[in-house]
Amino acid sequence: MLTWIKWLVLGAVVLVLVSVGAIYATLFMSLPTLDGNDVSQYIDAPSSLERDELGHAIVTTQSKFDAAFVLGFAHAQDRYFQMDLQRRTAAGELAQWVGEPALALDKRHRFHQFSQRAKKVFENLPVEQQEMLVRYAHGVNTALSENSVPPFEYIAAGVTLKPWRPTDSILVAYSMYLDLQGTQIELDLARTALKDNFGEQVYRFITQPSNYQAALDGSEIPLSDADIPTYPHEATIKNTGTNEASSNNISSNNASAGETARNYNAVPPADIGSNNYAVTGELTPTGSGLLANDMHLGLRVPIIWYRTQLNYLDKGENIQVTGVSLPGLPGVIVGTNNHIAWGFTNANLDNVDWIALKDDVVTTQIESTITVGEEAVTYSFEHSDYGPVTTLGEQRYALNWVAHHPFAVNLSVIDLASARTIDDAIRSARRIAMPVQNLVIVDKEGSAAWTPAGAVMARNKATETAITQTALPLQKSRKTSNLPVVKNPDSKRIWTANARVITASDMPRLGDGGYALGARARQIRDRLFEKDTFTEEDFYAIQLDNHAQFLIPWHHLLSGLLTAHDVEFKVDLAYLGQWQECACEDSVGYTLVKHFRRHVIQKLFGRLLHSLDEKGVNSRTLLRGIEPATWELIHTQPNDWLPPNTETFDELLVDAYREAKHELLNRYSPQEADMATLRWGEVNKLTITHPFAAQIPGVGHLLNMDTVEGFGDTFMPSVQAPNFGASQRFFVSPGHLDRAILTLPGGQSGHPLSPFYAKGFNDYASHGATPLLPGQSVHKRQWYKQEE
């Protein structure tokens, strides 16, 4: 009997080892070939792809068309899964991979018909840019043709790998529109529902201007001096929702309304965008301008950006541009050519109109088939001459979004590689078509400038809520070229951080597409005025600034409240006294203050915002700017804004803290209720994961980056959430690239057996400085033109 058990166990072990060995062998066979010589009919002259120890792709060719081919080859070798994921996201084809959980997302994205629009965009591109995309696609498909075994993600998902088409690159650009402006679509609809349901006064109160304004010219939108509106009661609510039973109980003073307030747990959307700041040469020891850029995006494995250096000839001039490219697109997106350097943050200019359609407007029904695993699901929606249509209650709204127009996408961002001066770069910026960004540029002569770059609809007046058909006559939209420029300001400093950068006088025309509150931008501005000379290391320190300036008033409020209950909250007060005024790893006090604020906002506005969610809009988009209204209520304390069964604001605030503390302990220390476990480093730990890690039992966690204690938060320059934050840290002074820094939150390759899979992550986790320039080449592929 024992012998039989022994052989059974041994057989099981052997089976496991064989299985692991087979998996490893399959993975090993799918590794790309990094060295060798080849011929290709898709290049015009000898070309090469080298990689250093980080996997930094160094492309050397005789033309930008050949450079597009080689970069496409490199992207496909290292990141094809990422590229495919982004094109599928924009096209609404994720459910084929993920199944039912992705169906709702696919439907939302099919609403925009990006697959069809990509073809029209390609047809409207200049011939030169069409050729760039064709060459890039040839490079991608050449790399795919070398695969004896497909990337492991395709094996795991059971999905067939499909070739890359030139229009797929345009879908990648559309995926960035969804990332960078998708919230703007939801925000305008939420503003409309807020105004229609609760009236002008409540709308103006909740969306009032921020007191954290830091525009480049110092202009301010006047703060509200209106009285706090009466909390909207049933009789004042216009019911346009589809759920009549739920839409009329928003302020009824009963237990169910109180439960609604407690259950409302939405948080503001992440501030997709970035920090971007610069100084002129008068404030640097070298006399050249100095630039910092950290673009805030979702963090995952593989990372979004790809280390790239392109060397090629263009119109007789040698071009060398170093920075980051986006797999799926040719060219460097953010970088330097040693004459200029540039970076981006999301500009948040208004680029959305929802048009309230008249009853007699005729629409057509659009149908498409979504593959969910092996099944087919039909998705249909209405379409009008004004755009695709959604319905809230009985009102139909058509969407006019800049991304829906043929001028929304082109490849002109790659022309920045040829610019030699600030003025050259500004001229190039006027041709760029992509989600509009704050472009900050410096040059080696010491100049610095800011301008919006990207597709902006030409309009006389931007709007924050839905408009009537008569306000938007049915006509062909066009891209504006009338965008502001700030060059070499008297302050010698430039900063952008997703809040309003434009002057107040430009607001009526360019609008508010969901600006960040402004606390982060103000803190960066203030740091820039603390010194008169800056180096790359000084700029890095600003990017890592996790001082909790924004939460100091909330800390004072909470400390004062708990002092009145010092017996119950003696331990809590001790942690608050040691909070260090920063989002630091060992600060329990920071965690308490952060979550106290969230629960106060949810208790004050939960009933009202929950009712908007029931009408089919996303109320959390309104939370990004709700700080001024929150403090006005705390200071004024109108009784009619108190939740049901709450008698005073002190009671509301203390209850909010108790709920926040209970929620935290229930999650992080359910047995011991030990407050020491609420260290911010643990609560906000950086967790960068692979999308497939959770689906692979036993070993899936090996695909993830190491977990790192949290450092930073929202409303401060050092932005970090568990899977969101700086997608790159870039510091550069043209003419002095030996000191330039580019630190990324992961490695070049998406292949788990590649030596480049996690290379560079340790620098990111430890706030190290990875050099921008590539090191010595360790791998080289070369191509020669195939003879006819």
Task: Give dist(CA 343, CA 333) in Å, integer.
Answer: 8
3-class DSSP state of 440: strand
Task: Give dist(CA 333, CA 403) in Å, integer.
Answer: 19
Strand partners, 376: 371
Length of the chain: 788
Q: Please, are residues 389 and 398 in contact by the beta-carbon 8 Å criterion?
A: yes
Q: Tell me which residue has tokens 């070499």.
A: 488
Task: Give dist(CA 711, CA 586) in Å, integer.
Answer: 10
Task: Give dist(CA 332, CA 414) in Å, integer.
Answer: 6
Instruction: Count Cβ atoms within 10 A of the Cβ of residue 434 and give its class: 0-12 exposed, 13-18 middle, 19 or more buried.
Output: buried
Q: According to the annotation, is 353 in a ligand binding site?
A: yes
Task: Name the active-site residue from 274, 288, 447, 733.
Answer: 274
Instruction: Count Cβ atoms within 10 A of the Cβ of residue 667 and give its class: 0-12 exposed, 13-18 middle, 19 or more buried.
Output: exposed
Q: Is cis: bond before 435, omega within 30 of 0?
A: no
Element (H, E) at 369: strand 364-372
DSSP states along 670-735: TTT--GGGG-HHHHT-B----TTGGGSTTTGGGGSPPPB-----SSSSS-EETTEEES-EEEE-TT
Task: Give dist(CA 655, CA 660) in Å, integer.
Answer: 9
Q: Tell me which residue has tokens 């009824």.
A: 252
Indicate left, alpha or beta for 217 from its phi (over 0: left) and psi (-120 to 50: alpha).
alpha
Q: Find how far residue 211's CA is from the centre of its chain.
A: 24
Task: Give dist(CA 159, CA 157) in Å, integer.
Answer: 5
Is 274 a residue of the active site?
A: yes
CA dihedral 426, 430, 432, 434 (to 10 degrees): 110
Q: Please, are residues 583 and 680 in contact by the beta-carbon 8 Å criterion?
A: yes
Handedness of CA 79, 84, 85, 86 (dihedral sign): positive
Task: Give dist(CA 307, CA 322) in Å, integer.
Answer: 8
Of 205, 199, 208, give the one whose Cα is nearest residue 250: 199
3-class DSSP state of 150: coil
Q: Interior CA angle at 685 toward 682 and 690, to 5°?
A: 140
> What is the C-alpha R_g of the chain?
27
Of 96, 95, 92, give the one whose Cα is nearest residue 160: 96
Q: Tell me which residue has tokens 């472009």.
A: 439
Q: Please, are residues 524 and 541 in contact by the beta-carbon 8 Å criterion?
A: no
φ/ψ of 20, rounded to 5, equals -65, -40
φ/ψ of 61, rounded to 5, equals -145, 180
Handedness of CA 493, 499, 503, 506 (dihedral sign): positive
Q: According to the annotation, is 350 in a ligand binding site?
A: yes
Element (H, E) at 366: strand 364-372
Residues 6+ apart with CB under 8 A from 314: 63, 64, 417, 418
Q: Hey, which bits of 315-363 come out as E strands? A: 317-325, 334-336, 340-346, 352-356
> Helices (DSSP H) in 484-586: which residue ranges?
507-510, 519-528, 536-543, 552-563, 570-577
Q: According to the annotation, is 586 in a ligand binding site?
A: no
Annotated binding site for Ca(2+): 350, 352-353
Which residues have a catalytic role annotated?
274
Annotated binding site: 350, 352-353
